[in-house]
Amino acid sequence: MSKARTAGNVHLLKHSLVAAKMSVLRDKTTATVQFRCALEQIAILLLTEASKHWPTRATEIETPLAPMTGASLAQPVVFVPILRAGLGLLEGMLRVMPEAEIGHIGLYRDDVTLRPVNYYCRLPARLAQSHVVLLDPMLATGRSATEAVTLLKSQGATSIQFICVVACEIGIEQLRSVHPDIPIYSAAIDPELNEFGYIVPGLGDAGDRYFGTL
C-alpha cells in the first residue's frame, strides 16, 4: 500500500516498491540501462501520488452496457524538466500522460556566485491555465528548483508541484523559504549535502548516471 508522509507541504512517498527501486538507483554497481528503467518506474509512482487530488470534471460517457458519469482532468498538464537530469523523470511521466505539454528550463551554476543562471527557457503558451509539474531528480541546495519556480511564476504559472527522487533538508528549506506554496513530492529525504553539493548517501550524479556520461 502506498502512503505519503506529509509535513509542511513535503510529501515523502513511503512505498515498498519505491524503496526497492530506490536501492537499485542508489547502488553504484547499477548499470545505465537498469538505472534508466528504475528512474522511469519511480517517476510513474511519484506522479501517481502527486496527481491523486488533481481536480476532475464530470464527463458523460457510454460504456458498451450503459451510460455513466466518468471523469476527465479539469486542467491541461505541463511537465517541465530542469535540464538535464529532469529529462530522466520525463520519460516515465509521458508513459502515463502522453498528452501532456512539455516545457524546458536550463540552468547552470555560476562558478563564482554559485547561483543558478538560466540559459534556456521554453514553456507552453497556456501556462496560466495549466497545472505545471516541475521535475528534477535531486533537490540538493534547492537553488535550481527555487529559480525554476520563480521563472514559472513570472511566466504566469499559478498551479505548480515539484517532483524529485531524493531531497535533503537544506534543499527543502531553501525551496520552502522562497516558495512555501509549492508542494514537494520525493521518494527519499537524505540527511546531508557534501561540500561539492552532492546529496549523501544520495545516488551520485543523476544526469551522468541516466545519460551514461560517467
The CA–CA distances, whole Å, from 165 to 2, 93, 125, 136, 190 equal: 16, 13, 28, 8, 10
Cα–Cα dist 77/98, whole Å: 10
Stretch that binds ligand URA, among 40-48, 61-69, 177-185, 201-209 (CB under 6 A): 201-209
Helix 16-26 and helix 32-50: axis angle, to 10°?
A: 150
How far apart are CB 198 and ligand URA at their closest, in Å? 4
Of 84, 109, 150, 176, the catalytic one is 109
- 90 near ligand URA, rule: CB under 6 A: no
Nearer to ligand URA, 133 or 206 (CB): 206
85 binds ligand URA (CB under 6 A): yes
Report in angstroms how near the CB of residue 93 gets to ligand URA at its nearest. Answer: 18
User: Using CB under 6 A as the criterion, what x/- string covers residues 180-199 for binding ligand URA?
Assistant: -----------------xxx
- Whole-number Å distance between alpha carbons of 151 and 121: 9
Q: How many residues bind ligand URA (CB under 6 A)?
A: 10
CA distance 50 to 134: 11
C-alpha cell at 4: 505519503
Q: Given 84, 150, 176, 208, which residue is catalytic?
A: 208
Report which residue type is found at 95: R
When binding is defined by CB under 6 A, the residue of 140, 149, 160, 189 that contacts ligand URA is: 140
CA–CA separation, 61 and 58 (whole Å)? 10
Q: Which residues contact 128 (CB under 8 A, 6 or more apart)?
A: 156, 157, 158
205 is catalytic: yes
Task: Select 183 or 197, whichever has its Cβ closest to ligand URA.
Answer: 197
- The answer to whether 27 is a known catalytic residue is no
Is 208 one of the catalytic residues? yes
- Does 106 contact ligand URA by CB under 6 A? no
Cell 516498491 -> residue: 17
Binding site for ligand URA (CB under 6 A): 85, 138, 140, 197-199, 202, 205-207
Q: Which residues are catalytic?
A: 109, 113, 205, 208
